[in-house]
């Protein structure tokens, strides 16, 4: 299943707000998966210098990732498919 | 799945059952209460909250295609507050107890209704949730022990005393197998503890003990 990155600009965000968003993302992904539209929040990175987050999702389509974020009510600026690369692969 | 995930899942289910577009704070309260409930009764501190009047069909499982729902802004605010409470408590993850504690100051919606019906104050709610969070449910147990010593029981307490499903208990009442009484002028139903034995039949009752 393809991976997607969800970019967010979150100026002034606190760790608690990120935790709250994570819980919402997790539960919405579980709900959508239960509905037959598999989507999984894999992990997120917060970039303190730019107040951005890069959140990685695994899903069948970009639409599914977009819907999961909309349901979780987490704002985003960009969703795009990414190519996975690990040290073991090169 | 931790209890916050479970509460959120129940909240989403409650919203879908109602055909709502959004998961509101009320749905989250219902979800949290269902997550800590047993046989459709959520016990928190001295209060026993029956989930059925809240529209919760607690034995029904999600089924078939359901409408899609998103979290509402008041639900987002609630999750944010719960995360703050978790942090101030030094807990690494948000639990159902933090979500419940986040309702303490609410005066409107379902929480306001619960406060009025059960005489709950913000402080007493926080105290009850704090005991739950610490895993110390002694006050609740003591209260339930006091109740279990009472002569008259609610259908839920009677079901628990007999170890049967509350719906089985309601069926006994409907069929007349168990005498039940209505509190004058109220909807509340009570059963006499001594009557519970009426539905107990000895195993091999027609055989003599050897």
Domains along chain B? 3-138 (1.10.1780.10), 150-199 (1.10.10)
Across the range B70-85, mean pLDDT stands at 96
Quote the pLDDT of residue B146: 45
Between CA B202 and CA B193 the distance in angstroms is: 18
The residue of chain A with its CA nearest to that of B73 is A73
Buried-state track B178-193, b at ≥16 Cβ within 10 A, e below 16: bebeeeeeeeebbbeb
Mutate to test the interface with B, among A19, A72, A75 (most CBs of B within 10 A): A19
Quote the pLDDT of residue B155: 85
3-state SS, chain A, equals CCEEEEEEECCCCCHHHHHHHHHHHHHHHHHHHHCCCCEEEEEEEEECCCCEEEEEEEECCHHHHHHHHHHCCCCCCEEEEECCCCHHHC
Mean pLDDT taken over chain B: 82
Digit-coded pLDDT (tens) for B104-148: 999 999 999 999 999 999 999 999 999 885 544 333 433 444 444
Quote the pLDDT of residue B170: 84
**pLDDT over 70 (residue B66):** no
Between CA B43 and CA B50 the distance in angstroms is: 9
Q: Alpha carbon of B154 to those of A82, B31, B192: distances in Å?
A: 58, 23, 9
Across the range B5-32, mean pLDDT stands at 92
At B33, list the tokens. 């209460």
pTM above 0.90, yes or no: no
Across the range A35-54, mean pLDDT stands at 95
Digit-coded pLDDT (tens) for B78-107: 999 999 999 999 999 999 999 999 999 999
Confidence of residue B63 (pLDDT cuts 50, 70, 90): low
Nearest by CB to residue B79, choosing from A15, A24, A30, is A24
Quote the pLDDT of residue A71: 97
**With a CB-CB cutoff of 8 Å, which residues 50-89 of chain B face chain A?**
62, 65-66, 68-73, 75-76, 79-80, 82-84, 86-87
Tell which wins on pLDDT, A87 or B2.
A87
Question: How many domains is chain A built from?
Answer: 1
Helix ranges, B43-150 (H): 73-88, 96-101, 109-118, 122-133, 138-148
User: Cβ distance B23 to B73 under 8 Å?
Assistant: no
User: Cβ distance B92 to A32 under 8 Å?
Assistant: no
Q: What are residue B193's phi and psi, to 5 degrees?
A: -55, -40
What is the distance between the terminal CA atoms of chain B, rounded to a whole angstrom?
A: 51
Q: Across-strand partners of A82?
A: A3
Measured between beta carbons, which residues in chain B are less than 8 angstroms from residue A71?
68-71
User: Of B168, B204, B167, B196, nearest to B180 (Cα)?
Assistant: B196
Question: In this complex, is the C-beta atom of A70 within 8 Å of any C-beta atom belonging to chain B?
Answer: yes
Quote the pLDDT of residue A55: 98
> Which ipTM was obtained for this model?
0.91
For residue A32, what are the domain limits?
Answer: 3-89
Do B8 and A24 make contact, defined as CB atoms within 8 angstroms? yes
Q: What is the CATH number of the domain that holds A35?
A: 3.30.70.3090
**pLDDT over 60 (residue B39):** yes
């Amino acid at each position: 299943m393809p991976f997607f990155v969800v970019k967010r600009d979150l100026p002034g965000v606190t760790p608690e707000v990120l935790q709250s968003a994570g819980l919402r993302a997790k539960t919405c992904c579980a709900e959508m998966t239960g509905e037959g539209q598999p989507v999984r929040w894999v992990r997120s990175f917060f970039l303190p210098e730019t107040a951005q987050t890069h959140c990685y999702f695994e899903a069948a389509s970009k639409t599914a990732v977009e819907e999961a974020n909309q349901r979780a009510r987490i704002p985003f600026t960009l969703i795009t498919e990414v190519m996975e690369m690990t040290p073991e692969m090169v | 799945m931790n209890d916050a995930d479970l509460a959120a899942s129940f909240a989403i289910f409650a919203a879908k059952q109602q055909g709502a577009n959004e998961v509101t704070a009320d749905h989250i309260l219902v979800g949290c209460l269902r997550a800590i409930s047993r046989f459709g009764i959520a016990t928190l501190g001295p209060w026993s909250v029956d989930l059925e009047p809240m529209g919760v069909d607690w034995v029904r499982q999600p089924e078939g295609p359901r409408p899609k729902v998103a979290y509402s802004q008041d639900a987002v605010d609630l999750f944010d507050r719960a995360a703050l409470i978790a942090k101030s408590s030094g807990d690494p993850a948000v639990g159902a107890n933090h979500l419940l504690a986040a309702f303490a100051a609410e005066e409107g919606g379902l929480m306001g209704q619960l406060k009025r019906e059960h005489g709950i104050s913000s402080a007493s709610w926080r105290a009850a949730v704090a005991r739950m969070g610490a895993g110390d449910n002694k006050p609740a147990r003591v209260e339930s022990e006091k109740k279990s010593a009472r002569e008259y029981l609610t259908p839920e307490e009677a079901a628990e005393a007999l170890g049967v499903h509350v719906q089985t208990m309601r069926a006994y009442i409907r069929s007349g197998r168990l005498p039940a009484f209505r509190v004058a002028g109220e909807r509340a139903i009570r059963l006499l503890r001594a009557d519970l034995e009426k539905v107990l039949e000895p195993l091999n009752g027609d055989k003599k003990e050897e």
